[in-house]
Structure 1
Amino acid sequence: MWNGLNNEEVETNRKKYGTNSITNVKSKGFLKLLLESLGDPIIKILLIALAIKVVFLFQDSNYFETLGILIAIFLASFISTISEYGSEAAFRRLQEESSKILVKVLRNGKVIEIPLEDVVKNDIVVLQSGDRIPADGYLLKGELRVDESSLNGETKEAKKYPPINVNNLQDSHKLYRGSVVYSGEAYMLVCEVGDKTLYGALAKEVAESAPTSPLKLRLQGLAKFISRIGYCGAALVTISYLFSVIVIDNNFDPNLIMNTLTDFRVMMDHLIYALTLSVTIIVVAVPEGLPMMITLVLSSNMKRMLKSNVLVRRLVGIETAGSINVLLTDKTGTLTKGKLEVNEIISADNIHYKNTKMLKQNKKYYEEIYHSLYYNNDSKRNELGEVFGGNGTDRACLKFIEEDKSINRRIIDKVPFDSKEKYSSTTLDNNITYIKGAIEKLLPNINYYLNRYGEEKILLNRKSLSNIADGLTKKGIRVLALCYTKNNKSLENLVFVGLVAIKDELREEAKEGVNLIRSAGINMIMITGDAKETASSIAKEVGLLDKEDLVLTSEELSKLSDEEIKKIAGNLKVVARALPTDKSRLVKILEEMDLVVGMTGDGVNDAPALKKANVGFAMGSGTEVAKEAADIVILDDNILSISKAILYGRTIFKSIRKFIIYQLTVNMCALILSIIGPFIGINTPITIIQMLWLNMIMDTFSGLAFSFEPALKSYMYEPPKPKSEPIINSYMIGEVLFTGLYSALICILFLKLPIIREFIRVGEDYKYLMTAYFALFIFIGIFNAFNARSERINILANLRKNKVFIAIILFIISVQIYLIYHGGDLFRTYGLKASEFFIVLLLASSVFPIDFIRKLFLRRHHLKTGV
Structure 2
Amino acid sequence: MRKIETNIATGLDDKQVSDSRKKHGSNHITSKKQDGFLKLLLESLGDPIIKILLIALGIKTVFLIQSFDWFETVGIVIAIFLASFISSISEYGSEKAFARLQAESAKLKCKVKRNGQVAEIEVEEVVVGDIILLEAGDKVPADGILVRGNLTVDESSFNGEAAGVEKRVCNDWNVPEKANQVYRGTVVYSGDAEVCVTEVGDKTYYGQLAQEIQEKQPESPLKIRLRGLATVISRIGYIGAVLVSVSYLFSVVVIDQQFQLSKIIAFVTDFPVMAGHILYALTLSVTIIVVAVPEGLPMMITLVLSSNMKRMLKNNVLVRRLVGIETAGSINILFTDKTGTLTKGKLEVVSFMSGNLKSYHSEYELSKVGKLYPIVKDSLLYNNASRYDTSHHAVGGNITDRALLEFIQSDLGYQKKEISHIPFDSKNKYAITTILDDGKRLNLIKGAPEKILPYCTKYYDENGNIRTILSKLEMNRKISSMTQNGIRVIAFATSDKVVNVTSFRDLTLVGFAFIKDEIRSEAITGVQLVHEAHIQTVMITGDNKDTAMAIAKEAGIYQSPDDLVLTSDELKQKSDEELKKILPHLRVVARSLPSDKSRLIRISQECELVVGMTGDGVNDAPALKRADVGFAMGSGTEVSKEASDIVILDDNFLSIAKAILFGRTIFKSIRKFIIFQLTVNVCAITLSIIGPFIGVDTPVTVIQMLWINMVMDTLAGLAFAFEPPLVEYMKEMPKKKDEPIMNRYMKDEILFTGIYSSILCILFLKTPWIQHFFRTGENYKYLMTAFFGLFIFMGIFNCFNARTHRLNLFAHLLKNKVFIATILFIIVVQIIMIYFGGNLFRTSGLTLKEFITMLIFASTVVPVDWCRKLYLRKRGMIGGV
User: Under a length normalisation based on structure 2, what TM-score does the superposition of the two structures give?
Assistant: 0.71
After superposition, the Cα gap between the structure-2 partners of 1:444 and 1:28, relative to the gap in structure 1 and judged at 3 Å, is closer
Structure 1 residue 794 displacement after superposition: 1.0
After superposition, the Cα gap between the structure-2 partners of 1:621 and 1:484, relative to the gap in structure 1 and judged at 3 Å, is closer
Match of 1:766 among 780, 787, 791: 780
Structure-1 separation of matches of 2:608 and 2:494: 58
Contact 1:413 1:428 in 2 (8 A): no
Structure 1 residue 638 displacement after superposition: 2.8
Structure-1 separation of matches of 2:620 and 2:37: 27
Contact 1:437 1:481 in 2 (8 A): yes
After superposition, the Cα gap between the structure-2 partners of 1:160 and 1:436, relative to the gap in structure 1 and judged at 3 Å, is farther
The 5-angstrom pairing of residues 337-348 of structure 1 reads 337-345=344-352
Partner residue, 1:17: none
- Matched residue of 1:740: which SS? helix
Structure-1 separation of matches of 2:91 and 2:198: 44
Partner residue, 1:706: 720
Partner residue, 2:649: 635
Q: Which runs of 5+ in 2 are unaligned?
A: 6-23, 62-71, 117-123, 157-165, 172-179, 496-503
Structure 1 residue 827 displacement after superposition: 3.2
- Matched residue of 1:633: which SS? strand
Structure-1 separation of matches of 2:781 and 2:434: 100
Q: 2:70 matched to 1:59?
A: no
The 5-angstrom pairing of residues 524-535 of structure 1 reads 524=537
Match of 2:670 among 656, 670, 691: 656
Q: 2:678 matched to 1:674?
A: no
Partner residue, 1:14: none
Match of 1:553 among 533, 550, 568: 568
Partner residue, 1:167: none
Partner residue, 1:260: 264
Contact 1:320 1:615 in 2 (8 A): yes
The 5-angstrom pairing of residues 9-48 of structure 1 reads 27-31=31-35, 47-48=47-48
Match of 1:621 among 602, 626, 635: 635
Structure 1 residue 656 displacement after superposition: 1.7
Aligned amino acid, residue 674 of structure 2: I
The 5-angstrom pairing of residues 31-430 of structure 1 reads 31=35, 47-60=47-60, 75-76=86-87, 79-92=90-103, 98=109, 101=112, 118=128, 213-231=220-238, 233-234=240-241, 236-238=243-245, 240-242=247-249, 244-246=251-253, 249-250=256-257, 253-255=258-260, 259-260=263-264, 265=269, 273-274=280-281, 276-291=283-298, 293-313=300-320, 317-345=324-352, 370=373, 373-374=376-377, 376-378=379-381, 386=393, 395-400=402-407, 403=410
- Matched residue of 1:290: which SS? coil
Q: 2:527 matched to 1:517?
A: no
Q: 2:476 matched to 1:466?
A: yes
**Superposed CA offset, 1:358-411 (max 9, x none):** x69xx97x6687556445432687897655788865653453467599xx9x99
Contact 2:594 2:619 in 1 (8 A): yes
Structure-2 separation of matches of 1:99 and 1:401: 25
Partner residue, 2:842: 828
Contact 1:426 1:434 in 2 (8 A): yes
After superposition, the Cα gap between the structure-2 partners of 1:414 and 1:680, relative to the gap in structure 1 and judged at 3 Å, is closer
Structure 1 residue 854 displacement after superposition: 0.8
Contact 1:673 1:684 in 2 (8 A): no
Structure-2 separation of matches of 1:624 and 1:484: 34
Structure-2 separation of matches of 1:67 and 1:572: 64
Structure 1 residue 825 displacement after superposition: 3.5
Structure 1 residue 263 displacement after superposition: 6.1
Q: 2:840 matched to 1:840?
A: no
Structure-1 separation of matches of 2:601 and 2:421: 40
Contact 1:76 1:295 in 2 (8 A): no
After superposition, the Cα gap between the structure-2 partners of 1:297 and 1:88, relative to the gap in structure 1 and judged at 3 Å, is closer
- Matched residue of 1:377: which SS? helix
Contact 2:143 2:198 in 1 (8 A): yes
**Superposed CA offset, 1:141-195 (max 9, x none):** x8x79999999xxxxxxx999999xxxxxxxx99997559999xx8889999999
Structure 1 residue 731 displacement after superposition: 1.2
- Matched residue of 1:29: which SS? coil
Contact 2:41 2:85 in 1 (8 A): no
Contact 1:820 1:831 in 2 (8 A): yes
Structure-2 separation of matches of 1:126 and 1:674: 69
User: Under a length normalisation based on structure 1, what TM-score does the superposition of the two structures give?
Assistant: 0.72
- Matched residue of 1:862: which SS? coil
After superposition, the Cα gap between the structure-2 partners of 1:476 and 1:206, relative to the gap in structure 1 and judged at 3 Å, is farther
Structure 1 residue 791 displacement after superposition: 0.9
After superposition, the Cα gap between the structure-2 partners of 1:275 and 1:740, relative to the gap in structure 1 and judged at 3 Å, is same
Partner residue, 1:683: 697
Partner residue, 1:775: 789
Aligned amino acid, residue 752 of structure 2: F
Structure 1 residue 840 displacement after superposition: 2.1
Aligned amino acid, residue 835 of structure 1: K
RMSD, aligned α-carbons: 6.1
Contact 1:760 1:836 in 2 (8 A): yes
After superposition, the Cα gap between the structure-2 partners of 1:713 and 1:52, relative to the gap in structure 1 and judged at 3 Å, is same
After superposition, the Cα gap between the structure-2 partners of 1:354 and 1:389, relative to the gap in structure 1 and judged at 3 Å, is same
**Superposed CA offset, 1:702-726 (max 9, x none):** 3322222212122222223223322
- Matched residue of 2:754: which SS? helix
After superposition, the Cα gap between the structure-2 partners of 1:570 and 1:806, relative to the gap in structure 1 and judged at 3 Å, is same
Structure-2 separation of matches of 1:208 and 1:294: 20
Structure-1 separation of matches of 2:622 and 2:28: 14
Count of residues paired in the alignment: 806
After superposition, the Cα gap between the structure-2 partners of 1:801 and 1:33, relative to the gap in structure 1 and judged at 3 Å, is same
Q: 2:495 matched to 1:502?
A: no
Partner residue, 2:174: none
Aligned amino acid, residue 58 of structure 2: F
- Matched residue of 1:500: which SS? strand
After superposition, the Cα gap between the structure-2 partners of 1:32 and 1:724, relative to the gap in structure 1 and judged at 3 Å, is farther
Contact 1:554 1:579 in 2 (8 A): no
Q: 2:698 matched to 1:718?
A: no
**Superposed CA offset, 1:224-251 (max 9, x none):** 431343145335524652454246534x
After superposition, the Cα gap between the structure-2 partners of 1:133 and 1:261, relative to the gap in structure 1 and judged at 3 Å, is closer
Identical-pair percentage: 51
Structure-2 separation of matches of 1:318 and 1:508: 25
Aligned amino acid, residue 515 of structure 1: Q
Structure-2 separation of matches of 1:418 and 1:702: 57
**Superposed CA offset, 1:465-487 (max 9, x none):** 212213434566432457999xx
Q: Which runs of 5+ in 1 are unaligned?
A: 9-19, 106-113, 152-158, 165-172
Aligned amino acid, residue 380 of structure 2: N
**Superposed CA offset, 1:30-55 (max 9, x none):** 2399989999xxx99x9444444444
Structure 1 residue 615 displacement after superposition: 4.7
- Matched residue of 2:647: which SS? strand
Aligned amino acid, residue 334 of structure 1: T
Aligned amino acid, residue 791 of structure 2: F
